[in-house]
């Protein structure tokens, strides 16, 4: 089965979002974990880097689709629509984990079910993170309880994104079609 390679626009979207999320995760962890906050200090700069990365993320997600509407609409469809083969992916998590999973022979599909699930969940988590980050940054515009609830959501969504990205990086490296996953896909 031959996969359609990612276009330049798709690569730009993926890697700019990845870079922004990486900065957000690193600065977020530094602000969240006391022992790291103590080592790094510089609260203003860490906080400002976190905000700038969030603004870059939002700008990329808004600007790129506006410039390449048709191309990214197709990407959204490729990621959104699931068929029977996608559900099969979830029935064999152990095979996926061990890189021994082979997709059923069918018409070429650009993304496997894991990538589709990741895209949907990371997208919703990132929206929640951006929205909940607003009362945390501009705290004086909101009631204390709103800021507290926003922080709870921010922390929970951060945990979810971290877990999802860890899984994504693992499968991107060791999965059947991963960079280092030579055991099945490349044999």
Partner 1 sequence: MSQPVGRRLFLAGLAGGVALIALGGRLPGALRSWLEGPLGELSPSDGFHFYSVTGSIPSWDRAGWRLAVDGLVDKPLSLSLDELTSIGLQTVTADFHCVSGWSVSSVRWRGVSLAALVDLAAVRPAGRALRLESGDGAYVDYLDLEVARKPGVIVALGIRDTPLSSERGAPARLVVPFYYGYKGVKWLRRITVVESAGVGYWEARGYDADARIRD
Report the residue number, 72 or 128, with the smaller CB distance to partner 1.
128
Nearest-angstrom CA–CA distance, 67 and 69 = 6
Report the residue number, 5 or 144, with the smaller CB distance to partner 1.
144
Report the residue number, 124 or 182, with the smaller CB distance to partner 1.
124
| Integer angstrom CA distances of residue 50 from 46, 47, 73, 118, 173 | 6, 5, 29, 23, 27
The CB-of-120 to partner 1 minimum distance in angstroms stands at 4
The contacts of residue 138 (CB under 8 Å, 6+ apart) are: none
Report the residue number, 123 or 172, with the smaller CB distance to partner 1.
123
The CB-of-180 to partner 1 minimum distance in angstroms stands at 27
Nearest-angstrom CA–CA distance, 147 and 53 = 21
* Cβ atoms 72, 9 nearer than 8 A: yes
The CB-of-28 to partner 1 minimum distance in angstroms stands at 11
Residues that bind partner 1 (CB under 8 A): 31-35, 37-38, 40-44, 79-83, 86, 116-117, 119-121, 123-125, 127-128, 132, 135-136, 139-140, 142-145, 147-157, 159
């Amino acid at each position: 089965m031959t996969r359609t390679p990612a276009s330049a626009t798709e690569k730009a979207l993926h890697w700019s979002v990845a870079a922004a999320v990486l900065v957000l995760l690193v600065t977020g962890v530094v602000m969240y974990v006391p022992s790291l906050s103590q080592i790094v200090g510089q609260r203003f700069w860490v906080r400002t880097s976190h905000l700038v990365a969030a603004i870059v993320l939002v700008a990329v997600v808004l600007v790129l689709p506006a410039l390449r509407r048709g191309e990214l609409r197709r990407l959204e469809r490729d990621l959104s629509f699931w068929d029977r083969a996608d559900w099969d992916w979830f029935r064999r998590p152990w095979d996926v984990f061990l890189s021994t999973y082979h997709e059923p022979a069918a018409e070429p599909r650009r993304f496997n079910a894991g990538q589709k699930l990741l895209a949907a969940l990371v997208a919703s988590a990132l929206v929640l993170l951006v929205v909940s980050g607003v009362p945390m940054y501009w705290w004086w515009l909101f009631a204390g309880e709103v800021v507290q609830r926003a922080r709870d959501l921010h922390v929970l969504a951060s945990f979810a994104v971290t877990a999802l990205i860890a899984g994504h990086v693992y499968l991107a490296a060791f999965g059947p079609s991963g960079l280092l996953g030579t055991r099945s896909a490349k044999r």
